């Protein structure tokens, strides 16, 4: 088990940890203020590919949480950067929001619609609130014609104010079923996004704590990398699920306020 006293920096999930929908989670503002006051390195790492880092900065500002875009790493940006390294200028069909599409274009990738499936180099799938059968069909045809199948993240659900809603993983499952191919996953728990986060922090994995609300992405990914793992309840994972899961975090807190008190009191 990692000890919080040895932690030099933090990776913070966002949805379900800092906020849920448009509601700030308890202790979120105080936790960020503490990190700023003590100059503790941190980076927000989110699997949500619907927004750019600048859009996340604006949302956090509206919620009263002062985090700049430079401290935010999303799976959309990470996916675009990875694909540009693997296939510069690739032709991409994207299922997702304008936030994902703009990140792909920003990295000099050609986002296309209405081209023959054989002309598509890669299919990138993110969360898409306007998902249609036609989008699934185009993605399937392109992958079957040889396009690389990429998923921004595997999250089956995401926490909303109404409850758990279908996530990117639910869309990936449909395309995987139709094509018989497994996607390359960029976001948590896979190492691609974690390696980029550590590079930006300038720290080693054993010096970092991953703070998240999902066992199968935040905690599992943190374990794989050799990080200290901290689960925040009230997002995706319940206390009941903790009793039956084989994925166990190093620490469990109700919210960031409780984590902050533990760190300040030196009892974690």
Any known ligand binding at 213? yes
Residue 97 token pair: 């929001």
15 is catalytic: yes
Q: What radius of gyration do the chain's Cα atoms show? A: 18
Q: Residue 89's closest CA among 108, 72, 111?
A: 108
Cα–Cα nearest to 49, from 25, 9, 24, 83 = 83
The response to whether 218 counts as a known ligand-binding position is no
- Can you tell me the distance from the alpha carbon of 118 to that of 142, in angstroms, rounded to the nearest whole number? 6
Assigned token pair, 174: 């449909």
User: 220 is written with which tokens?
Assistant: 């599992």
106 class by beta-carbon count within 10 Å (0-12 exposed, 13-18 middle, 19+ buried): middle
Q: Which of 13, 128, 250, 255 is catalytic?
A: 13
To the question of whether residue 216 is assigned a binding role by annotation, the answer is no
Helix, strand or coil, per DSSP, at residue 156: coil
DSSP string, 39-86: T--EEEEE---SS-HHHHHHHHHHTT----GGGEEEHHHHHHHHHHHH
- Nearest C-alpha neighbor of 1 from the set 251, 214, 255: 251
Instruction: Decide: 88 and 108 in contact? Cβ < 8 Å.
Output: yes
Task: Tell me whether residue 188 is annotated as binding.
Answer: yes
Which is nearest to 255 in space by CA: 56, 37, 19? 19
User: Is 155 annotated as catalytic?
Assistant: no
User: CA nearest 152: which of 172, 166, 134?
Assistant: 172
Q: Known binding site for Mg(2+): residues? A: 13, 15, 213
Residue numbering of the annotated binding site for substrate: 188
Residues at the binding site are 13, 15, 188, 213
Q: Which residues belong to the active site?
A: 13, 15
């Amino acid at each position: 088990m990692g000890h919080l006293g040895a932690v030099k920096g933090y990776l913070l999930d966002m949805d379900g940890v800092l906020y849920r929908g448009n509601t700030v989670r308890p202790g979120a503002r105080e936790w960020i203020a503490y990190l700023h006051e003590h100059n503790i390195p941190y980076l927000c790492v989110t699997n949500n590919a619907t927004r750019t880092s600048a859009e996340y900065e604006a949302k956090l500002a509206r919620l009263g949480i002062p985090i700049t875009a430079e401290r935010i790493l999303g799976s959309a940006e990470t996916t675009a950067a990875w694909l540009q390294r693997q296939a510069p200028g690739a032709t991409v069909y994207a299922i997702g929001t304008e936030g994902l599409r703009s990140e792909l274009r920003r990295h000099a990738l050609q986002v296309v619609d209405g081209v023959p499936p054989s002309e598509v180099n890669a299919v990138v799938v993110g969360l898409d609130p306007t998902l249609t059968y036609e989008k699934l069909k185009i993605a399937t045809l392109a992958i079957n014609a040889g396009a690389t199948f990429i998923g921004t993240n595997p999250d089956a659900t995401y926490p909303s104010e109404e409850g758990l809603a279908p996530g990117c993983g639910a869309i990936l499952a449909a395309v995987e079923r139709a094509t018989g191919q497994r996607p390359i996953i960029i976001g948590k728990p896979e190492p691609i996004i974690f390696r980029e986060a550590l590079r930006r922090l300038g720290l080693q994995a054993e010096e970092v704590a991953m703070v998240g609300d999902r066992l199968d992405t935040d905690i599992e990914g943190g374990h794989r990398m050799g990080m200290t793992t901290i689960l925040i309840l009230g997002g995706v994972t319940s206390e009941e699920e903790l009793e039956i899961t084989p994925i166990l975090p190093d620490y469990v807190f109700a919210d960031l306020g409780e984590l902050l008190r533990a760190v300040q009191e030196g009892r974690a």
